Amino acid sequence: MTNTVHRGSSIEFRKVRKTYGSFVALEEFSMTVAPGEFMTLLGPSGSGKTTALNCLAGFIDIGEGDILIDGVSIARVPTEKRGIGMVFQNYSLFPHRTVMGNVAFPLEMRGMGKAEIRTRSLKALEMVRLDGLADRMPHELSGGQKQRVAFARAVVFEPRVLLMDEPLGALDLKLRETLQLEIKQYQRQIGCTVIYVTHDQGEALTLSDRLAVMEKGFIRQLGTPQDLYDRPSSRFVAEFIGSNNIFKVLGSQGASVSMEGIGPIEITGRALPSAGYVALRPEHMRRTPQGRVVTRLEQAVFFGNSIRYVLTGADGKEISLIEPRTQGTQMPEPGSEVRFDFDDESLIYLPE
């Protein structure tokens, strides 16, 4: 790796449509990624996120539309000439090559001299703190070490675009959290543009400059993690990003709004429609004896620094409330009454 931080390339998807028989994997998929941006494609299995990544990489042909890198169409450019680095979930390391040999492979394919290959490979391994393991074989490495080798191999030739397809999916939670921070640090150091695919919303919120929530081949919402968390545009996004209570609006009259699970309640400072849904984050609710909403406690779940209360509201609707735990917090007994309240500004209106 050189010491000069360079910026990545811009990427543009223009109305890409990809089908497999009658199944539509991508439909009117349009998205622009700025140079050096960390963009995440987030969605459930089958939403089209990996298909979009594979179209960009050149692993599959797009059916309709176009993809541009730095304003130039790559639809007819072979995969090996797109200058894109790729990190896979299963590492895809060569079992017969050492750590150094794996990292050096992309440089060998580009015909570089042995001295330059060694220098660049060692710098890439130093970046991921594995230079002391250069002579190890892949079977001698831990899962986290293998993923670092895969990352070093993907960036050793200094690609302007790096694609990552659920690279941390096979690792345990604590290691995933550690590598999330490292990946972001490496990306800032290199300055390349990253498109990252995951179904893990926590991962997406941690890593992304922006993220696109996908469903059935469509982008349902695109924005910063804060935008999508605080202002989801649909019920699907509200339920997919973080934990949310979704209440159906049953009707309104003046300042009084009736909501499923809550019943009639006075809302001040804002107007809610008489139909549709509202979302309320569990952490935006608070237990208080004077609370406007009366529920019954079903279960209190201890998470160390927080407590999650599973409540039953009007009509038997399940409601989740999360509060920070402080020393001496007394948890009520299951079956007891729990009243809660919230700031009316915390309610997020979701169209039908």
Half-sphere exposure of 7 (CA within 13 A, CB side): 9
- Nearest CA-CA partner of 247 in 221, 219, 282, 214: 282
**Whole-model pTM above 0.75?**
yes
Q: Which domains does the chain have, with CATH numbers?
A: 11-239 (3.40.50.300), 244-350 (2.40.50.140)
pLDDT digits (tens, 9 = 90+) for 81-111: 898 998 887 778 999 999 999 999 999 988 8
* Tens of each residue's pLDDT in the chain, 352 residues: 444 455 799 999 999 999 999 999 999 999 999 999 999 999 999 999 999 999 999 999 998 999 999 999 999 999 988 989 988 877 789 999 999 999 999 999 888 999 999 999 999 998 888 889 999 999 999 888 888 898 889 888 889 999 999 888 767 777 788 888 888 888 888 899 999 999 889 889 999 999 999 999 999 999 999 999 999 999 999 999 989 999 999 988 878 888 998 888 888 877 777 888 999 999 999 999 999 999 999 999 988 889 999 999 988 999 999 999 887 777 888 999 999 999 999 999 997 6
